[in-house]
A = this chain, B = another copy of it.
Amino acid sequence: MSEIKQWHSDRGPQYRFKHDRLLRVAAECFNQKGYSGTSLKDVARQLDLTDAALYYYVRSKEELVYQCYRRAADLGARAMTLGQSTGGSGLDRALAYLDHHLDALCGEDGPVAIMSEIPSLKPEHKHDILERSRRHSLAFEALIAEGIADGSIAPCDVRMTGNAIMGAVNWIPKWFRPGGAVTVDQVRAEFTAFFRRALGA
C-alpha cells in the first residue's frame, strides 16, 4: 500500500531510524507474546517511551503488526532474490536463498516477525501479506522444481517439501535468541547441512 509511503516518506532520518527500531522491538514482542498478547505499553517500555508516543510512528496497533509482517516479507523477498541470482544448480540456488534467509532471521537485521497472526489483519493488509507470502512460497517451490529438473534435487512433492522447510525456518525465532548459547553461524551451518541432505538427489 502506498499509504505507508505517504505517511513515512517525507520524515527525516531520525524518524526513519526510530521507526525501524520500533518495528524490530515490536517484532520481538509479537514473536514471544503474540499479537494481542503484547500491549503497546509493553513495546513502548522497551523503547523508553509511553504507549501513546507510538502513535507518532504508527496509525494503530494493527498497522504496527502489518508493518512488521511487511518488513519480514521484504527481508524474505530480498533473500529470495539473492538466492535466485546465484549461479549453479537448483539445489545451489535453493540453499543460497535459505542461507540468506537464515541470515536475515538470526543476523544483524534483528528480530523478524513470525507471520503467525495474519487473520488479525484488516482485509486489505491481510490480502497484501497473503499475496506476498504466496509469491514467496511459489518462488521457493519453483527453485525446488528447478532443482528436480536439473537433477540436483531428489524428486518430491514440491508443495509439501516447501511447507516442511518453511516451517523449520519460520519456527526459528521461537527458539533462537540473539546473544544466546547458539550462534548465527551454528544455525546456518547445521540448517544448511540439514536441508542439503533433505533435498539432495
Contact = CB atoms under 8 A, between A and B. Distances in A.
Nearest to A173: B167
> Chain A: interface residue count, which band?
35 or more
Q: Is the interface of A mostly helix, strand, loop or mixed?
A: helix
Please tell me how many copies of the chain the complex holds.
2
A197 B194 contact: no
Contacts of A163: 168, 171-172, 175
Interface string A164-201: 11111111101100000010001100110111011110
Nearest to A33: B119
A140 interface: no
Q: Which of A159, A169, A197 has the most CB of B within 10 A?
A: A197
Nearest to A30: B34
6 contacts: A34-B119, A34-B120, A163-B171, A164-B191, A168-B171, A197-B197
Given A159-B182, A161-B190, A170-B171, 9 more contacts: A33-B119, A34-B34, A36-B36, A36-B37, A156-B190, A160-B191, A164-B168, A167-B174, A195-B198
